[in-house]
Amino acid sequence: EDQVTQSPEALRLQEGESSSLNCSYTVSGLRGLFWYRQDPGKGPEFLFTLYSAGEEKEKERLKATLTKKESFLHITAPKPEDSATYLCAVNTDKLIFGTGTRLQVFP
Amino acid sequence: GAGVSQSPRYKVAKRGQDVALRCDPISGHVSLFWYQQALGQGPEFLTYFQNEAQLDKSGLPSDRFFAERPEGSVSTLKIQRTQQEDSAVYLCASSYRGFEKLLFGSGTQLSVL
């Protein structure tokens, strides 16, 4: 059965304290891995698509990387406005989401 | 409009009542998706349309759930004889084609009392 697991469930960081979020997956046929950001009361907002091991994408303080079994979302020098839930999803002929990592960044 | 629009934003239903949730996707987007999100969980796939064709409805939890997109644009998710376990946020998303870069609406929060 296709499965996506995200860790940690919750993460509290001081402003400027860099860290990484993990997304591990076991799927029969990966056709892409996606990262989304979700703010309270809103739908998920697309961040990145990764297709093959070794691929990296960057946007502002965020960098996503992909291996054959997992993906990391690296957050460099986070700011309070980066506080949100970060969702990972895999495309296996349907988009399967993980349960997310709730990130809180304190000033 | 600029984004995916869902209505109503909130819906309170009595157990056993039928409800209809509407999604207006971005103009020109071929693919449309419905997801269910319980509190503290990730979105769970319900169904997927390409134009007016429903290509995958494997995520619909029971035959009380029905979705349609008759003209390939607006979609309606209908839930018959609502149960308390149906309480969740129902998210609609659209894309130019397939699973690439889904753009989500803000969802309809359904509470069944």
Give per-residue pLDDT as tens, A76-96: 999 999 999 999 999 988 889
Greatest Cα pair distance, chain B, in angstroms, is: 37
State whether B101 and A49 contact (CB < 8 Å): yes
Yes or no, beta carbons of A43 and B91 under 8 Å apart: yes
Output the average pLDDT for chain A: 95
Q: Report the first-to-last Cα separation within chain A, whole angstroms.
A: 41
pLDDT score of A27 more than 80: yes
Query: Which residues in chain A touch residue B91, judged by CB atoms under 8 angstroms apart?
Result: 43-44
d(CA A45, CA B103): 7
Structure tokens at B32: 């449309």
Does B60 reach chain A within 8 Å, measured CB to CB?
no
Strand B88-95, strand B108-112: pairing: antiparallel
Asked if the peptide bond before residue A44 counts as cis, ω within 30 degrees of 0, the response is no
pLDDT at B1: 53
Task: Answer whether the bond into residue B8 is a cis peptide, omega within 30°.
Answer: yes
List all residues 6 or more positions away from B106 whose beta carbon is below 8 Å from its beta carbon.
A41, A42, A43, B6, B9
Nearest beta carbon to residue B56 from set A42, A94, A98: A94
Q: Chain B 19-38, CB below 8 Å of chain A: which residues?
A: 33, 35
Closest CA to A4 of A66, A75, A71, A85: A71
Strand A10-14 versus strand B31-37 pairing type: unpaired
- What is the mean predicted confidence (pLDDT) over B61-69? 96
